[in-house]
Structure 1
């Protein structure tokens, strides 16, 4: 079994006991209870990640520096109004940036400096573009509050690269998983919730008996805040009835408690998929795409698919289902060309 690796965890071993501490620059040191990876441990770890920075870290900051701007922005309502996942990812990007450039002055930053920093990250273009987004917001805050007379990031364009989409589960992958994990297992229940609701893992782990209303599952998406009512598919209903389900959340850990985070669920579900012989590159998000694919194959319109998945952009839905649409339209076109004779197209 792979050894669990977590950021900011310090391990101290004595003759009788192993102690774990959360240690991160600018944050209070905190002892983490329980065994490494246990539910008790992961809850405390998640709580430590959410805690605010100690003000003593900001007191020694050079006035007018990038670090000072980062501290001020993180205290602002603009930052606090961001959704929790955005705050977490932005904080990670800010910390990495400040570690290198924290003592540089905000007022002397020029577009060429920002471009050079982003271009130095060309091997990880997605991360570079994410940092660009954060810096643009930080410098806009600096402009709005008189730190600068302009925003040097405003006209800087994203790095261009070919984005690799999340791979979609095929029917063969789904069948292999179901063969390994029959009804009545936690893994099968997880598959059903992902596949028959089309939701993200962060929303699936929060679904529970409280979300069922008149034959539908009510979902308020964490990422978009979209409010959805998703009719229960018979296969999902069968999986829920077979269980095992928790009282608060359908999906629970081996100890019967809800998953502490989407990442904890992801790691567990990936192990289940690998044990089923499913490709290692496939994960929970691929089942969200498989749900959209199935709906497209059934003839659903992009609007109908979005009503289930909660996508706010029809272009994103069409990207998910592009391959299906092409095959269906091509088959219809060829059918018209040859007349009533049946055209058989096998799935690749």
Structure 2
């Protein structure tokens, strides 16, 4: 199992497969700034599970391709019957797929994100790079023994690439419910605001140009103007830097924190009154923010600035677990945020609806069975 980003639910799948008697090595990148899951073997884990963090840097000429070669070395040493890989830069996927082909190992492409969907505008060099990415992504999909797509639009894209329908399975993402549910809302950074009765908006996770950092700034400014509400952002990287610049301009009700240890994440979510998610219109069709699924486990309402056609947006509307607004309409976003703060009964209904859905849909046993059908045909 290779999950470049080291997210929680992929690790949960590895644990369940190992519990069922499969010998599983779980591999992830250990040197990227993202929120990661439970990536150490614990006392309750099967002795058939091993977890390995691979650094992306550390020697000259390192990069996605070099990392892919390093993972390829692990694959050759472990000699598995099957590799499933996802959440990876396209060159990494290609290296891993080619290693599997060379050694006669079955390769399953877990399609979490369509990188070639992010067509650039402007500079020719960027367009050339996008074309190379698109060609590499298509070639890797075509060379895969099977593809697991996380939503039907992803499956449609794979079919358009020429992959036969019988090689494609749609399995929606989930969140590790047992790890995310929490009875305590005692998250240390929020104690002061909670004890004073302040309402808390919380955004947690990857934050780049796809995820609406400008909307978070707009909401924090509105909190300042109303002297009500605080926006907590738990993230690192380029989007975090943009928010730090906004803080320097005098926005008071914007609190910034680095990614938290995984065991603190449930209480962090529980400390919020409203959980925030965002995804740009351009990224809406070929990316599904997994943070929304983790939010559902927390029993808190979700405000999502996401295109209505995105699967996460559809899920929130189907379950009644939150509000979905146009990511290109900041006024609607701010109005929806304060409408939720003004209606505690509505927030409670939404939180309970999301949690009920998570308890029905996120049981790992049937999910793992579906993966077994793909991995061990």
Which TM-score applies when normalising by structure 2?
Answer: 0.30
Which TM-score applies when normalising by structure 1?
Answer: 0.31
Q: Which has the higher contact order (CA 8 A, sep 6+)?
A: 2
| Higher Cα Rg, which structure | 1
